[in-house]
Amino acid sequence: MARSKLRARKPLVEAALGFALAAVAGCALGLTEDPVDRTISVMTSEDFMKPVMDEVRTVGPLGLGTLMGATALTASMSSVVAGVVLAAATAATVLSTGNCGVSNAESIGLWTWSGLAGAVGATLSGAQLGVVIEWIVTNVGMVGLLLALGIFTALKPPLHFLLKVIWRQREVCCGLGQAALARERDERERETREAEEREKAASQVEQRILALEKGVRAREYVASREEEFLQREKKERERIELQEEEMEHRTVQDWIDGVVVKYVDFLAFSGLPMTLLAIVTSVFGLYGYGAHQSALIALLGLVVLLAYFLMKASDFKFWMLAGCMGMLATFVVAVLTLHAEQEVVIGSRKMRAAGQNLTKEGLTSRMNHRASLEALNAGFFVAKLCQLALGATVGGPLLRWGAGEVKVILGAAGLAGALLVLVEVTTPVLGQGGRAGALLGAVGAAGVSVGASAAMATGWSSWGGTMGTLFGLVSGALVMGKWHIVNIGLQLPVAYVFAMTNPY
């Protein structure tokens, strides 16, 4: 699809419109802050923390950090892919069952159904993954979580192949159906054209006979011929418009097919670096080196090596960029977890110097608690950041390709609010793990709105529109986010960068 710019308006109008739409997107992002904070508070309570604290001794703080980071990011990425693929399948179905036209009214229905399908798919898949992760951590432990993560990663390439086969079959079926519709339409057009030509010939004969009988003047006859010529021109224009609509339909369908291919690749391969990192650090932890400096150096070397080979790939793809960033985020979670444990050690030394001694059991308990707390907090935060970024990766290109700023921004923001209400209502059924996963769907919808707002800020013809949009986005996020300046300050730049990225 061709890139489109926003329609030029007066600077004051651009600033006002940009501020209003971006403020709605910022409010959608800010509304996710309180439910996320409440979910983290419950997940870091004593009942939920105990299984995690018990496993720190097994895999060590580095292993715990990488496991939490890799698991949270894998769940986040998988839910996004589920939402995007379901939205693409819905859009393809709407196109294939319609009359192959993509008028404005039809495009509203197309984006509406696709957005609903994508949001529901991401939310449901996130909730299911959250429930599964909570059950594994509670009943099996971190070793079971590592095993489940490894199995899931190993199953994704076959799933990648299966999804591609299914999508190709859908393309063949839809292609045959569209070809049959096209033949039927051509046949109807041919019959209509022949009937019109017969009627026209008969009408011309009648007009000539009447002209001869009644002595009609030549210029009146010429006027009737000119009217016939104008009618033929009108029909030719209608035929050309129909062809252009069919071409636009094929362009949209080709774009949807490309999106599905990219995101299925993303599902299959983006989690490999993170899973490898989690496996290596967990093995270090199982052998008693989970908090050793040598393990941290080896972990850093592995991150640099994998990132180097991925970034140097001749055929660089979106999943490689996402895999590198996910691996780096996993490493950061591991370092934060190790740092939290070391802070307890440093604090105990200060207490010992002040004459307050801690028992070995008390010190170990504090270390495990701080490490587990940091791993859960950091893991959930990077998952939220990932979901927001991937949502912005959808919203930015949609707006640049002409989906309409009002439809994308207001529609995605409305979906985010509806999903937040749905999560609150279904929390007793979902449990805390399911609630945490379902919240990622709402964050992703808010990310679509924020990404579209960021793209809108760069699409205005004046600085007034750009600054008004940015100010509205920041203001809405801060006000509705209860002035969480650090969180919002980290999320908005990430959303902006990914909104400017074109993964398709």
As averages over each run of 10 residues, the pLDDT of the chain (504 residues) reads 55 84 91 87 79 78 87 89 85 66 54 83 89 86 84 84 74 52 58 65 62 55 62 67 61 73 83 88 81 81 88 81 88 87 77 69 78 87 90 85 79 90 87 87 90 86 84 89 84 89 71
Q: Can you tell me the distance from the alpha carbon of 65 to that of 414, in angstroms, rounded to the nearest whole number?
A: 35
CB 397 within 8 A of CB 84: no
pTM: 0.80
Tokens 């990219």, residue located = 262
**What pLDDT is attached to residue 368?**
79
CA distances to 155, 313, 383, 392, 491 from 503, in Å: 24, 16, 20, 11, 20
The closest alpha carbon to 83, from 322, 306, 260, belongs to 260
**What pLDDT is attached to residue 450?**
92
Residue 39, burial from CB neighbour count under 10 angstroms (0-12, 13-18, 19+) = buried
Copy the structure tokens of residue 353: 């110097």
**What pLDDT is attached to residue 176?**
44
Q: Can you tell me the distance from the alpha carbon of 3 to that of 495, in angstroms, rounded to the nearest whole number?
A: 20
**What pLDDT is attached to residue 397?**
83
> What's the CA angle centered on 212, arms 206 and 213, to 5 degrees?
85
**What pLDDT is attached to residue 199?**
66
CA dihedral of residues 397, 402, 405, 411 (deg, nearest 10): -80
